[in-house]
Chain A
């Protein structure tokens, strides 16, 4: 039982390059999330998905796209990376339905992906 698995753990990009962060969970959770963490800014929600085939914008969606491939997988794509996207990215999942104020939304986080854009 691996929980939430993210790849890659580290990535260095040049400005304008594209890349996809992969996330998979094996807990049969309904909802999945992508957060970014920057010093002094806490955890900010980029996108979330309440179920397969649905995605919604979070607090900071600009410059990102997501895809909920199936119940297990939720990917985050940077089409044209910018230095402002240098950050640590966390994928998370929860049993409950994202977007609801509920105790069923206990988040299980992945180990994080450190992205540097030069």
Chain B
């Protein structure tokens, strides 16, 4: 089955800086790669996703890049704000999730 790993497990950045969270997957046949955000005590919610025929996708301050050859995709958050503090999950294949990364944005 699919194996999804996220790096690093925690990340702390200063408000206004950029944050990059990387996700690797094992199944080269996977075609769909979403990112979910979970704020403390809340449910996970989709923030951005990408399909295998696209290398990059942007939505305001967030972007996702995909490298199918290396089997990894990354979440980029620019101009981070305190409300970006949350756990971020990537997923691949038949919705196998990584273990999550805790992002803390210091004011």
Contact = CB atoms under 8 A, between A and B. Distances in A.
A103 interface: yes
Interface residues of A, number: 23
A99 B99 contact: no
Kindly state the interface size class of chain B when it binds its partner: 20 to 34
> SS class of chain B's interface: helix, strand, loop or mixed?
loop
B45 A109 contact: yes
A105 B99 contact: no
A75 B11 CA distance: 36
Interface string A101-118: 111011101111000000
B54 to A, nearest CB: 11
Contacts of A102: 31-32
Nearest to A33: B95
Given A101-B31, A103-B32, A111-B43, A40 B99 contact: yes
A109 to B, nearest CB: 4
B46 to A, nearest CB: 5
Interface in A36-60: 40-45, 59
Interface of B: 1, 29-32, 34, 36, 42-46, 49, 51, 89, 93-100
